[in-house]
A and B are shown apart, each in its own frame.
Chain A
Amino acid sequence: MSSVTLQAVRKTWGAFEALKSLDLHIPDGEFLVLLGPSGCGKSTTMRIVAGLEEVSSGTLLFDREDVTRVHPRRRNVAMVFQNYALYPHMTVAENIGYPLKVTGVDKAKAREKMLDAARKVDLTDYLSRLPRDLSGGQRQRVALARALVRDPRVFLLDEPLSNLDAKLRVAMRAEIKHLQRSIGVTMIYVTHDQIEAMTLADRIVLMNKGQIQQIGTPDEIYDDPANLFVAGFIGSPPMNVVTGEVADGVFRAPGVTVPGAPGRGPVTLGFRAEDVTLSPTGAFQGTVFEVEPTGESTFLVVEVGGGRAMLRADKKHRPALGSPVAFDVPASQCLFFNPGDGLRLRRTVPHLQQVTA
């Protein structure tokens, strides 16, 4: 097992810049999730770590060893591909044992290790089957076993759950997390699913357009987003945003007045649906646009401050469409952003008291 360090790593294809000078350190044994929308550079980052893409410039270190120009076969990384990339002409046993076969491990020892890996993912009954005779979940486990069969320095998983149905995905998620904890390997996991990222990661790296937007624990990323992109990407529903003006420390938008705001001029206010408290005298005044019951709660789509916001309310709450609604958000949960560059505007003194009208 190794730590992984990317220093000023850039990747370009012609004029297109897929990665713009990436700096990242992943300590030994960490479960790191690379999260972001399609084309954000997360898969490219992982492929660079695997050696499947060459960097345009920059350095990649495993521990202190420079592996930037090392061929993938000599990096000793294990990778699980999105489509599993199982060898269709080989049985489950041959698939799992392939890394040992090509690296010339003694046959008896290889068989023992293969059986051990198959046991870990509960595949011992399927060893003589071909991949096409397996279900999606079983194929996924074969791919995991093939990665587990040796002792890789880094474990890479490229959207490994995206081809599974929702129920299986949840089950496999727990298995992967448990596996990582039990063997304590450095794991880099690529996904565009924020729930997967939140549930699995020790740390999340949120990327967009080839740049890191924020690095932090799931809680940090959720509660303390660095910019509007992070705020909008993480959370379901995403963070509500209202754009208004700040003058003399007071944020104002149609129907909204929030004191204790940083900055001046145009500012974007963000708050999460679950931080809202309905109150007839609330600082936010709007009208109900739509009601969305989900079973465990009811989401109200509200027209407020010149835009729309989602509020989470009690499951029995069913206001009439078009009726006025007022709510409060704790001051600590009101986040402010610069609408120009999307960056967070922080208060100099934390305001923890309730916002009042």
Chain B
Amino acid sequence: MTRPGVKWTTFALWVLFSLLTLLPIWWMFLVSVKSRTDLFGRPSFLLDISRITWDNYATVIANPAFQRYMLNSLIVSTANAALVCALGLLAAYAMSRYRMRGKDNIFFWVLTNRMAPPAAFLLPLYLLYTGVFQVGDWSLFDTRIGLILLYCVLNLPFAFWLLQGIIDGIPAELDEAAYVDGASTWQVLRTIIVPLAGPGIAVTGILTWVFAWNEYLFASTLTSVNARTITTGLAEFVTVTGTNWGQMAAVAMLTLLPAALVLAVVQKHIVAGLTFGAVKG
């Protein structure tokens, strides 16, 4: 039994933590709906929602550069998530089901790829993208495919690790039954593994999508004009003549929105997906 005092303390703590988390977002929202004059003229604005304006949003949404950044981010994130899920699933399936020498070592090696600090790869990647991976005038630098491939490299170890746990949780007997029933490996994957690992694949897809959506470091280094993503676009509001705080906050809110929406809708499935292997079906 829980005493009422404990219950209320817990409740209060959760409210406090929620406020702490939400406060910066609320602040950013207020900045995005204030005019420049209000922002600097009436500094006490934390709870002041009297003079709201949507002009900042209207301006950035109508801005062709912003539209391109948004489109780039959507394409890069979605393609990355799809590619990572497909490749991760195949790798994880092979690792989970086939007997092979040095399996544990391969698994660990793949994971260690994720451990190195990404900044360490920055310069080599820049050189590769601008000087090595090129055909004639075309190079990977400042292309969406360049970003997609790079995010795949960064996300695959994570997807591989997550999906292997999930596929391990699906009894191998089901594959065997399907083989005996006359299915090919491809049919086993399509009709047995994918449907049963569905929640796990969705979680992998969402988390990798969010990663690619939020990524800034590589996007800012390996793109210049054509393939700029929304996160790098944010920085463009900081110029030598000053920072357009209102529009920047509006873009930040718009950047936050898809990720927040996706996570809000699927958060239950994420928990279910992450604990999938723990419970036998």
Contacts and interface: CB of A to CB of B under 8 A. Distances in A.
Given A89-B196, A102-B187, A52 B281 contact: no
Given A72-B179, A98-B181, A85 B191 contact: no
A83 B181 contact: no
A51 B195 CA distance: 25
Nearest to A152: B180
A102 B181 contact: yes
B173 A81 contact: yes
A103 interface: yes
Contacts of A87: 174, 177-178, 191-192
B200 to A, nearest CB: 13
Contacts of B173: 81, 83, 85
Contacts of A75: 180
Contacts of B196: 88-89
B257 interface: no
A147 to B, nearest CB: 9
Interface in B176-192: 176-184, 187, 191-192
A50 interface: yes
Contacts of B176: 50, 52, 72, 79, 81, 85
A52 B180 contact: yes
Nearest to B175: A85
Given A85-B171, A85-B176, A99 B281 contact: no
Contacts of A146: 181
Interface in A53-108: 71-73, 75-79, 81, 83, 85, 87-89, 98-99, 101-103
B182 A99 contact: yes
Contacts of A51: 179-180
Given A85-B174, A87-B174, A88-B281, A102 B191 contact: yes
B180 A89 contact: no
Nearest to B187: A102
A73 B171 contact: no
Interface in B25-79: none
A89 B174 CA distance: 11
Contact of B179 (A73, A103, A150): A73
B226 to A, nearest CB: 43
A51 B176 CA distance: 9
B182 A73 contact: yes
Interface in A101-119: 101-103
Interface string B244-281: 00000000000000000000000000000000000001
A76 B182 CA distance: 7
A73 B180 contact: yes
Contacts of A98: 178, 181, 183, 191
Contact of A50 (B180, B184, B192): B180
Contacts of B184: 73, 102
B168 to A, nearest CB: 16
Interface in A254-272: none
A150 B181 CA distance: 9
Nearest to B183: A102
A146 B196 CA distance: 19
B177 A103 contact: no
Nearest to B181: A99
15 contacts: A50-B180, A52-B179, A52-B180, A73-B182, A81-B176, A81-B177, A83-B171, A87-B174, A87-B178, A89-B196, A98-B183, A102-B178, A102-B181, A103-B182, A146-B181
Interface of A: 50-52, 71-73, 75-79, 81, 83, 85, 87-89, 98-99, 101-103, 146, 150, 156
Given A83-B171, A99-B181, 9 more contacts: A52-B180, A71-B179, A79-B177, A85-B171, A87-B177, A87-B191, A98-B191, A102-B187, A146-B181
Give me the 8 closest cross-chain CB pairs, A-B, nearest first.
A85-B177, A99-B181, A102-B183, A103-B182, A85-B173, A72-B179, A79-B180, A89-B195
